[in-house]
Structure 1
Amino acid sequence: MSKQFWGLVAVIITVLVGVAVFNNSKKPTVVSGVASNHIIGKADSKVKFVEYGDYQCPYCQQYFATVNQVKDKYKDRVSFQYRNFPLTSIHKNAFAAARAAEAADKQGKFWEMHDILYANNDPTGASGWVASDKPFDFFSGYAKQLGLDAAKFKTDYASKSVNNIINADMAAGTKLNVEGTPSFFINGNKQQIQNTVDAFSKALDEALKNAK
């Protein structure tokens, strides 16, 4: 066969290889680790409520008290889950706070640390752990309040396994098109809920009715 023919074959092969490489480069990055599983309420409920939150987010802090009231009201009927979604581009200590909560979880105190972090979130961003260049100093103080083993808390806080959990949460949220916080889901459906107990109750009552 002619040199022109083999030259054409070589060009075609080069193009095909280039396409394959391009397609492979577009595959999503695989995130190591398993997403968190922080559930309170009725774990086997047919109604699953999930919040994606950022401990430094002022809006999450504003919703915090309302969501806690809703949990108390529906804890015997609804499964409530919290997942990390720190907005690291605008909240410098959000990821660190998530690490503190996950480190506390290693000693069975996730929800307690969750509550302390939100209770001590200055929504103006001017004071406390949200403004500190050394947020761990605050977190270690909270850990002491909760009676945690200080050495273990420090080790877990800095661990790869804790980082992997947070990254897995963020990846799961991204797949659900979470872009801001707080983001709420009921049985996988994203919700726009006003910051009132009545608004949450209406959404959950409807879900419970449909789940029967």
Structure 2
Amino acid sequence: MNKLTKLLVLSSIASATLFANDNLVIDFEKKRLSQNPNVKASNIKIFYKKELEAKGWYGYILDFDAVIQDKNMKVKDTLFSDGKVVATDLFDITTSKSLKSTIVPNITDKYYQKSKLVAGSEKAKDKIVIFSDPLCPFCAQYIPEVIEFVNKNSDNIALYYYAFPLTHIHPASTTLSKLIDIAKTKLGQEAVLKAYKVDWSKHFAPSTTDEKTILDAFNKELDTNIKVQDLSKKEIVANLEKEIASGDDLLVSGTPTIYVNGEIDPTKELYKSLIKK
């Protein structure tokens, strides 16, 4: 057997072993979930897999359909395995931090959609993607700062905005996100910046679900003439659902969440290093 043949055989064995390990992780998840009488899970598959710095260990994000309290849901779960054991979490022995935060998918080109561009040039080499709730207090300051930064460096950076309303905290953010999307037809990409510069607390509480109150405030502040029925248009509802799903696929759980050139930036400061020197 020559060296090339040996390498091919070893590669095939390694691939088969990894595939077998993947199936063991899926089987483990099936058995684990079956023990919970409140959850009915199906279509369990590996959504994302990442090799860890710890030798032989991999992090897995599993995706499955679930029925919980009679509600159909899409669920993601994280597991770790070295092919011999499976763990629901791993911790860095030095920092005591969970390694779950490191199992995060990176941005792919599909997120760089022209319709999501709010500042800069789509031809720019450096790209930023932000997921944000328009009623998130920190976002209200942060998003305008990032947009204005990109506007000053518009030839070099592209900024893409995705609405990610945290409805369990700010129910009104769903309606506000739809209104921003609708307003783009009149105001273009400026709609996002203008909406984030408004102090919406003067008009309504984040907990409100009264669409008319939110709509009246929006039309007044941004000088638009949006109708209540516009909020229920299929394309508007579908757009927001897709943006939220895009965040869910990346395991976004809080706002703002920012990605710089494909990678998540937990510091939220890396975009400042993109200034052309």
TM-score normalised by the chain length of structure 1: 0.68
Correspondence for 2:232: 158
Q: How does 1:63-78 map to 2 (within 5 A)?
A: 63-78=142-157
- The unaligned stretches of length 5 or more in structure 2 are 1-30, 32-39, 45-63, 66-72, 75-109
Q: What letter corresponds to residue 210 of structure 2 in structure 1?
A: K
Q: Does 1:97 align with 2:172?
A: no
Q: d(CA) in 1 for partners of 2:147 and 2:41?
A: 48
Shift of 1:55: 0.4
Partner of 1:113: helix, strand, or coil? helix
Which residue number in structure 2 is paired with residue 112 of structure 1?
Answer: 190
Displacement after TM superposition at 1:22 (Å):
5.6
Give me the whole-angstrom Cα distance separating, in 2, the residues matched to 1:49 and 1:200. Answer: 7
- Residue 137 of structure 1: SS of its match in structure 2? helix
Q: Report the Cα distance in structure 2 between the residues aligned to 1:54 and 1:72, rounded to whole angstroms.
A: 21
Alignment partner of 1:121 is 2:199: yes
Partner amino acid, structure 2, of 1:167: E
The within-5 A match list for 1:33-72 is: 37-39=115-117, 40-72=119-151
CA shift, 1:118, in A, is 1.6
Question: What value does the CA root-mean-square deviation take over the aligned residues?
Answer: 3.2
- CA gap 1:116/1:45 in 2 versus in 1, 3 angstroms: closer
| Structure 2 Cα separation of the partners of residues 193 and 70 of structure 1 | 16
Higher mean alpha-carbon deviation, 185-194 vs 130-139, is at: 130-139
Aligned partners of 2:217, 2:203: CA distance in 1, in Å?
A: 12
Give yes or no for the alignment of 1:182 onto 2:253: no
CA 1:136–1:109 in 2, change beyond 3 Å: closer, same or farther? farther
Q: Secondary structure at the match of 1:169?
A: helix
CA contact (8 A) 1:50 1:81 kept: yes
Matched-pair contact (CA < 8 Å) for 1:100–1:139: yes
Using a 3 Å threshold, how does the CA distance of structure 1 residues 23 and 71 change in structure 2: closer, same or farther?
same
| Displacement after TM superposition at 1:42 (Å) | 1.0
Change over 3 Å in CA distance of 1:147–1:94 after alignment to 2: closer
Whether contact under 8 Å (1:120, 1:128) holds in the other structure is no
Identify the match of residue 137 of structure 1 among 191, 213, 218: 213
Question: Against the structure 1 CA distance between its residues 23 and 92, is the aligned structure 2 distance closer, same or farther, given a 3 Å change threshold?
Answer: closer
CA offsets, 1:29-56, max 9 Å, x none?
A: 5xxxx98722121111222111101001
Please tell me the residue identity of whatever aligns with 1:189. Answer: E
Q: Secondary structure at the match of 1:129?
A: coil
Cα distance in 1, alignment partners of residues 195 and 225 from structure 2: 18
Which residue identity is paired with 1:68? I
When residues 58 and 135 of structure 1 are mapped into structure 2, their CA distance, relative to the original with a 3 A threshold, is farther
Distance 1:58 1:134 in 2: 20
Higher relative contact order (CA 8 A, sep 6+): 1
- What is the TM-score of this pair, normalised by structure 2? 0.53
The amino acid of 1:114's aligned partner reads V
Tell me if structure 2 keeps the 8 A contact 1:53–1:181: yes
